[in-house]
Amino acid sequence: MLIAQITDIHLGFEPNNPAEFNRKRLDRTLRALCAMTPQPDLLLATGDLSDSGDDEVSYRRLKSALAACPFPVWFCMGNHDDRAAFLKYFPHVPSADGFIQYVIEEFPVRILMLDTLEEGRHGGGYCETRGAWLKARLAEQPERPTILVLHHPPIETGLSWMTENPEAEWVRRLRSIVEGHPNIVAMLTGHLHRAITTQWAGTTLAVCPSTAPQVALDLAEIDPDKPDGRPMIVADPPGYALHYWNGEGLISHYDTAEDHTVLARYEPALQPLVQMLVAERKDA
């Protein structure tokens, strides 16, 4: 099973420009995903789909961009999103208790889509109502391998201006749920505009890079009272993730939607190497 992931699309950053920079970056990413072999079984779009939650710009453009995808696309909400505006264009996406949270059941691994949008906050949120929903879903199939998908990674990252407080109430609530369920094989997130992988609450937590511009890698402390001219946002190529479920675990790969310089191709000169590697693996 192959799961593609994109995140932090931020459509509508240029509301009066249908050919905006972020739309071009999204289109490049989708072309790369649609052209690959094998194709993904599904695509997860993990929040900040919009830049401002404007239904007449952001979500209309998103629906148009995704129309040609040959695989199903599923969504979760980020801090830049608006639930009501999103559902106007994507009414098929389930919701519960006023939150866009639901289960994807039809694959070998179960996927739970969580809603960490907390209106008025840049960071995440996860209230008792959402926590109760997650506990109930996990109790339904406690032995089945399960992936949690959410926008906000509940971790302190070292990126001093793009990080969470690990002692925040919502983080502690989510941790208490995840720690008690060893069948959670991974958590897939976005929000940070960088590729990051770590361990959290007994499982793997993977952060997908953004299709919109990336956050600069700078682990120096930041002083909110003293701008120091450091780079904060950089126009690195749009990124995506491919998560391969091999029946036992999830293997995450990250790539960028750009033309890669090819230094070698599978031509007759490289056939002996390929044959040797395949035979070696079979004999091991």
The model's pLDDT over 179-201, given as tens digits with 9 standing for 90+, comes to 999 999 999 999 999 999 999 99
| The model's pTM | 0.96
pLDDT score, position 158: 93
pLDDT score, position 56: 77
- What is the DSSP secondary structure assignment for residue 26, as one 8-state letter? H
Lowest mean pLDDT among 15-19, 22-26, 165-169: 15-19
User: Would you say residue 55 has pLDDT above 80?
Assistant: no
Distances (CA, A) of 244 to 17, 109, 199, 249, 261: 36, 11, 18, 8, 24
Distance CA 113, CA 115 (A): 7
pLDDT in tens, 85-118: 999 999 999 999 999 999 999 999 999 999 999 9
Q: What is the mean pLDDT of residues 137-156?
A: 97
pLDDT score, position 283: 87
Q: What is the mean pLDDT of residues 260-279?
A: 95
For strands 239-245 and 250-256, give the pairing. antiparallel
Distance CA 189, CA 181 (A): 18
Among the listed residues 169, 90, 161, 88, the one whose alpha carbon sits nearest the alpha carbon of residue 124:
169
CATH 3.40.50.300 at 2-283, yes or no: no
pLDDT score, position 199: 97
User: Would you say residue 266 has pLDDT above 90?
Assistant: yes
User: Would you say residue 31 has pLDDT above 80?
Assistant: yes
Quickly state the pLDDT bin for 284 (edges 50, 70, 90).
Answer: confident
Distance CA 69, CA 198 (A): 30
Give me the phi and psi of 55, to 5 degrees please: -70, -35
pLDDT in tens, 215-237: 999 999 999 999 999 999 999 99
Distance CA 180, CA 169 (A): 17
pLDDT score, position 53: 81
pLDDT score, position 54: 80
Quickly state the pLDDT bin for 272 (edges 50, 70, 90).
Answer: very high
pLDDT score, position 160: 85
Q: Where are the beta strands (DSSP E) in 53-202?
A: 73-76, 102-104, 110-113, 146-149, 184-189, 196-200
- What is the DSSP secondary structure assignment for residue 96, as one 8-state letter? B
Q: How many helices (H) and strands (E) does the chain have?
A: 6, 13
For 177, half-sphere exposure in the C-beta direction (CA atoms, 13 angstrom radius) is 23
Quickly state the pLDDT bin for 78 (edges 50, 70, 90).
Answer: very high
pLDDT score, position 233: 96
For the chain, the structural domain boundaries read: 2-283
